[in-house]
């Protein structure tokens, strides 16, 4: 482990990994990743976090992908009463529309 002098115990560095924490940045975009990269690469040489920006976000195991979400209903005027609380039949999720179970030859 680390003490106040900044030295690291060699046994802690070679011990097997016990836990892995995966953080999913839901809602983060490419600019968030770029800001993280710039922050990590801009740290002082003595900082243990320094220089890992390119490893974290640019390594062979990092897959860049982008998704967009859109509203199900674009009405701008609310519907009064109980009818306004009902599900719009045009926006009901139907898995059959998303999957094709037809075998590929």
The number of C-alpha atoms within 13 Å of 26 and in the hemisphere containing its C-beta is 1
Burial 68-86 (b: 16+ CB within 10 A, else e): eeeeeeeeeeeeeeeeeee
Number of domains in the chain: 1
Between vectors from CA 61 to CA 58 and to CA 64, what angle results, nearest 5°?
A: 60
Whether the pLDDT of residue 86 is over 70: the answer is: yes
pTM of the model: 0.34
Q: By residue range, what is the domain housing residue 8?
A: 1-71
Asked if the structure places residue 20 within a domain, the reply is yes
Instruction: Give the pLDDT confidence of 9-29 residue by residue, as tens digits.
Output: 665 567 788 888 887 777 777
Asked if the structure places residue 105 within a domain, the reply is no
Asked if the structure places residue 86 within a domain, the reply is no
């Amino acid at each position: 482990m680390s003490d106040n002098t900044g030295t690291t115990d060699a046994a802690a560095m070679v011990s097997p990994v016990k836990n892995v924490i995966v953080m999913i940045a839901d809602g983060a975009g490419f600019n968030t990743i770029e800001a993280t990269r710039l922050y990590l690469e801009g740290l002082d040489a003595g900082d243990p976090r320094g220089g890992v920006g390119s490893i974290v976000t640019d390594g062979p195991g990092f897959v860049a992908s982008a998704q967009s979400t859109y509203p199900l209903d674009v009405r701008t005027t609310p519907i009064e009463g109980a009818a306004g609380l009902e599900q719009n039949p045009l926006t009901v999720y139907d898995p059959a529309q998303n999957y094709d179970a037809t075998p590929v030859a």
